[in-house]
Amino acid sequence: MGIFSERLDIEKFLEGILDVLSDGIYITDAKGKTLAVNRMYEQLTGLKKDELVGKLVTDLRNQGIFDVVLNPEIVSTGHKKSLVQVTKEGRRVILNGCPVFDESGKVAIVVTFVRDITLLSQLQDQILTQQEVIDKYHEVQNRDKMKRQNSTVIFESQEIVQLMNVLNKVAKTDATVLLLGETGVGKDVFSRLLHERSLRHDEPFFKVDCSSIPESLIESELFGYESGAFSGANTKGKLGLFEMADKGTLFLDEIGELPLLMQSKLLRALQDQELIRVGSTKVRKVNVRFIAATNKDLDEEVKNGRFRSDLYYRLRVAVLQIPPLRERQGDILPLASFFFEKYNAKYRKEVTFTKEFCNAFQNYKWPGNVREMDNFVQSLIVTSDREILDVSDLPHYMLRDANNINRSIMKDENQSLDELMSDYEKNLLKNSLEVNGSVAKVARLFKVDRTTIFRKAKKYSLL
């Protein structure tokens, strides 16, 4: 009787015992009827005991209370089983079902331990998101490293010396910077200098080319989006470049191309350091230093209603006007020498140039600025079969626009054609002999006999 009494006492307190367990408990009989659930199960699933006890788990599944059940398979196999279950409220739990056998060895009861994996799944999503940020950061940093190696600032002109003095002062602050200048003057290079010389130099630097992103995608690229924000969106959502640049610098290149609707949203991010992802209502704080650049006349754009005046004035905190190459001629030859050295090394060549070639470079207007020179020098070195380049290797437009040949040889406007040609020939031979060091090399260069070069050099007293 004593043992029987103890069993009665346990049955009396069974419900209380179940409720003190830290796991959710769901007990069914061999037919799948729900016998008991504990308080933790109710908390984990949001389901109440009253709507479960006495009902078959298969009926509850068919009613959509939850999507899968363990009981039938465990009863038929007599083995433990685990799976993930989703309740009608969208809560995800993991089920670990264990059979309890009767005296004959048949499954009499199935006890299922229930644990919440919603928080675990959220944590996993956060880890995946953070990994995405890390991967994107490393990708951008590696790309930036290559760009920095190829984006050395070469200057000797007083104009750029003065600009660099201002840049160094502005870089040490968190002020928004607006870079103005023609296409190809090097706004990208100066934006990276601003970041590298700032207190954020160890944080990420991201560049956004506002002219290259389709209008329909600009908002999601900048601000990111939530899961299911639009058709084709990543099921886990996506961070935007604003959040990726948190604590670092975001460079908005060609900001004059930004649509008006996006300009208003950008203004809030600039002023309040806040953003809202596409498909969300949650305000997110960021800590970003903004640099913007454009080759457009924003004053004119504002007057014509193509650029918001409030955004324009918000950007004009620190303005750096980068002069075109034609207005800083002191940088032309240093840049040319740098690009020749760079591409000679890259293509394993030893191409040089004459003084007349230098004069042509110096007097050309360079409408495409530094970018044009970079590409032009690369093209010259790749295509040239000669070791020494002269004005004859330059395209006609460079000579025509600047009238370089006449400028380099004309000393007196009253000189005759014969005198002009003689001066030019003398200067050409003199420079070629100085560069090459021998009559034989100059003869090979100009594809004539050595005697011709020797005779002309004697004529002009060059030997």
Over range 416-445, report the average pLDDT: 73
DSSP β-ladder status, 205-209 and 249-253? parallel
How buried is 130 (Cβ within 10 angstroms: 0-12 exposed, 13-18 middle, 19+ buried)?
Answer: exposed
High-pLDDT (> 90) share of the chain, %: 47
Residue finishing a domain among 65, 81, 116: 116
Same-domain check for residues 111 and 179: no
Question: Does the structure show a pLDDT above 50 at 46?
Answer: yes
pLDDT for the residue numbered 323: 94
pLDDT band at 150 (very low <50, low <70, confident <90, very high): very low
Q: For residues 164, 169, 173 and 178, what is the CA-based torsion angle, rounded to 10 degrees?
A: -40
Over range 224-231, report the average pLDDT: 70
Domain holding 77, by residue range, is 2-116
pLDDT for the residue numbered 5: 46
Question: Does the structure show a pLDDT above 50 at 54?
Answer: yes
Same-domain check for residues 213 and 358: no
Over range 410-420, report the average pLDDT: 60
Is pTM, for the whole model, over 0.85?
no
CA distances for 120 relative to 46, 115, 124, 241, angstroms = 17, 10, 6, 27
Same-domain check for residues 127 and 219: yes
DSSP 368-393: THHHHHHHHHHHHHHH---SEE-GGG
Q: 289 is written with which tokens?
A: 């230093």
User: In whole angstroms, what is the distance from residue 53 CA to residue 38 CA?
Assistant: 11
Per the document, the length of the chain is 463
Same-domain check for residues 137 and 284: yes
Q: Which of 25-29, 35-39, 215-219 shows the lowest mean pLDDT across its residues?
A: 215-219
CATH of the domain at 19: 3.30.450.20
Same-domain check for residues 389 and 332: yes
Q: Which of 112-116, 184-188, 232-236, 391-395 shows the lowest mean pLDDT across its residues?
A: 232-236
Closest CA to 152 of 376, 378, 381, 374: 374
High-pLDDT (> 70) share of the chain, %: 83
Same-domain check for residues 333 and 451: yes
C-alpha of 22 from chain center = 46
CATH of the domain at 381: 1.10.8.60
Closest CA to 320 of 461, 168, 430: 168
Same-domain check for residues 341 and 212: no
Same-domain check for residues 229 and 374: no
Q: Which of 32-41, 157-166, 273-282, 454-463 shows the lowest mean pLDDT across its residues?
A: 454-463
User: In whole angstroms, what is the distance from residue 369 CA to residue 176 CA?
Assistant: 25
Same-domain check for residues 248 and 149: yes
Q: Are 25 and 111 in contact (CB under 8 A)?
A: yes
Q: Check residues 463 and 282 and name the one with the higher pLDDT.
A: 282
Question: Does the structure show a pLDDT above 80 at 138?
Answer: no
Residue finishing a domain among 116, 150, 165: 116
pLDDT band at 408 (very low <50, low <70, confident <90, very high): very low
Q: Which of 228-237, 334-343, 373-382, 398-407 shows the lowest mean pLDDT across its residues?
A: 398-407
pLDDT for the residue numbered 380: 93
pLDDT for the residue numbered 120: 60
Say which amino acid occupies 261.
L
Over range 426-451, report the average pLDDT: 75
Say which amino acid occupies 437.
G
C-alpha of 296 from chain center = 23
Over range 378-399, report the average pLDDT: 88
Residue finishing a domain among 323, 343, 378: 323
C-alpha of 384 from chain center = 36
Question: Does the structure show a pLDDT above 90 at 395?
Answer: no
For 161-209, the pLDDT digits (tens) are 999 999 999 999 999 999 999 999 999 999 999 999 999 999 999 999 9
User: In whole angstroms, what is the distance from residue 408 CA to residue 428 CA?
Assistant: 10
pLDDT band at 233 (very low <50, low <70, confident <90, very high): low
Question: What's the mean pLDDT when you consider all of the chain?
Answer: 84
Local structure of 65: helix, strand or coil: coil
Question: Does the structure show a pLDDT above 60 at 412?
Answer: no
CATH of the domain at 153: 3.40.50.300
Q: 212 is written with which tokens?
A: 């290259």
pLDDT for the residue numbered 404: 45
pLDDT band at 413 (very low <50, low <70, confident <90, very high): low
**Number of independent structural domains in the chain:** 3
Same-domain check for residues 46 and 153: no
Q: Check residues 15 and 366 and name the one with the higher pLDDT.
A: 366
pLDDT for the residue numbered 376: 94
Q: Check residues 237 and 178 and name the one with the higher pLDDT.
A: 178
pLDDT for the residue numbered 428: 73
Local structure of 3: helix, strand or coil: helix
Over range 138-156, report the average pLDDT: 58
Residue 33: DSSP 8-state: B
Same-domain check for residues 88 and 222: no
pLDDT for the residue numbered 263: 93
Same-domain check for residues 266 and 346: no
Q: Are 267 and 317 in contact (CB under 8 A)?
A: no
Q: Are 171 and 197 in contact (CB under 8 A)?
A: yes
Strands (E), 185-314: 205-209, 224-225, 238-239, 249-253, 274-276, 283-285, 289-294
Q: Check residues 264 and 90 and name the one with the higher pLDDT.
A: 264
